[in-house]
Chain A
Amino acid sequence: MLPFIKEAVQQLFSKPSTEKYPAADAPAPEGYRGRIVFHADKCISCGMCERVCAGGAISTTSVETEEGQLITRRFFLGSCTFCANCADFCVKNAIELTTDYHMVARDESELIVEGTYLKKKPAPKKPAAKPEAACSAEPETPTVQPRDDGLPVSDPSKCVYCTLCAKKCPAGAITVDRAAKTWALDEDKCIGCGTCQEVCPKKCIM
């Protein structure tokens, strides 16, 4: 009997275990995956986030302007699983999941996070090459052909130099320079596993 009385008296004078939430602020723990923040200036439009999204929450629209393509990436939080796959796969860390969990909306538009950036047209070198391609019968012809020996080769017309293939290469055979826009393969190191082809967001490795 006595231990129970002791417990009862203790409970009577101890602090309540109820969270004070609406009255006091309750920050989410570190690492909580909440509202998405999209840093549009960092995005290189590789499209990896859209491909790995389980809930199909990410969509992209592009508008042609004189200076280039105006690309809008839209995250619909009402369809998001907050799995952070998009943030994990983003090579430029343009997607961030914050600890903000206050995602209550009366209207659907309040649950949309979006960012717009300008993808500039390539230097005047390319427009000169384009009419040439238009003249040929098949404008879709890839500029490079697959190799006979099974080693990878990248199509420079599609490549966005995201460096994902170089990062994923188990043998470290690929060197990509974003600034110089070069893609180089060390044939002696390459083991022909096909990982680079698999991870390429633009499907430009053959």
Chain B
Amino acid sequence: MFKKLIDNAASKSPWLFHINAGSCNGCDIELVAVLTPRYDAERLGFKLAGTPRHADIVVVSGPVTVQSLDRVLRTIEQVPEPRVIVTLGSCPRSCNVFKGSYAVAGPLDKYVPIDVSIAGCAPKPEAIIDGLALATKILKEKREAMK
């Protein structure tokens, strides 16, 4: 009985974990703006988790630099299944203007499957809310599939 209650509650409150994989900080600022009172994603149940082990949705920004690659993969591995990986902005999707650099190991989909990509450079906070809403939907589907 309690399990059903927890499942129901958890599906309405996905926790985010944000990884900066060498981002320019533009997308990071927009993600933080989503959580501030102006856009207030917490009213929709999203909460920024302090550790990857508590998270359901991983938000990655930045082109995945050589320095950050190992850390990014290690962090994503720590997020329990089912997890949804969201790419924020153009960088993790395609490396954007950094493609071809010796310091960049991306794009991210070379290493882990991407579930949702939010395009924009940087994406508008409203677009991020759209993306997170889609991520919640996918998370629910994954939970159903795991049962």
**Which chain A residues have a beta carbon within 8 Å of chain B's beta carbons?**
17-19, 21-22, 26, 28, 32, 34, 54-57, 76-82, 101-106, 108, 111
- Chain A to chain B contacts (Cβ below 8 Å), 19 pairs: A17-B38, A18-B39, A19-B40, A28-B124, A34-B120, A76-B94, A77-B119, A78-B90, A79-B94, A81-B96, A81-B97, A102-B126, A103-B118, A103-B119, A104-B118, A104-B119, A105-B117, A105-B119, A106-B134
CB-contact partner of A21 in B39, B120, B138, under 8 A:
B39
Interface size on B, residues (CB 8 A): 31
Q: Does B99 contact A (CB under 8 A)?
A: yes
The CA of A129 and the CA of B10, in the complex, are separated in Å by: 73
A2 to chain B, nearest CB (A): 26
The CA of A59 and the CA of B51, in the complex, are separated in Å by: 40
A166 to chain B, nearest CB (A): 31
Q: Does the CB pair A104–B127 fall under 8 Å?
A: yes
Q: Does the CB pair B127–A79 fall under 8 Å?
A: no
* Number of CB contacts from chain A to chain B under 8 A: 90
Q: Does the CB pair A19–B39 fall under 8 Å?
A: yes
Q: A78-B117, A104-B119, A104-B131 are in contact. Are A21 and B126 (CB under 8 A)?
A: yes
CB-defined contacts of A26 to chain B, threshold 8 Å: 126
Q: Does B43 contact A (CB under 8 A)?
A: yes
The CA of A42 and the CA of B94, in the complex, are separated in Å by: 28
Q: Does the CB pair B117–A111 fall under 8 Å?
A: yes
CB-contact partner of B99 in A32, A34, A79, A103, under 8 A:
A79
The CA of A28 and the CA of B94, in the complex, are separated in Å by: 25
Q: Which among B90, B95, B118 has the greatest number of chain A C-beta atoms within 10 A?
A: B90
CB-defined contacts of A28 to chain B, threshold 8 Å: 124
CB-defined contacts of B121 to chain A, threshold 8 Å: 55, 80-82
Q: Which among A17, A34, A76, A79 has the greatest number of chain B C-beta atoms within 10 A?
A: A79
Q: Does B115 contact A (CB under 8 A)?
A: yes
Contacts A21-B129, A22-B44, A81-B121 supplied; 6 other A-B pairs, CB < 8 Å: A34-B124, A55-B97, A79-B94, A101-B120, A103-B123, A104-B130
Q: A28-B124, A78-B94, A101-B126 are in contact. Are A106 and B115 (CB under 8 A)?
A: yes
Q: A105-B117, A111-B117 are in contact. Are A55 and B126 (CB under 8 A)?
A: no
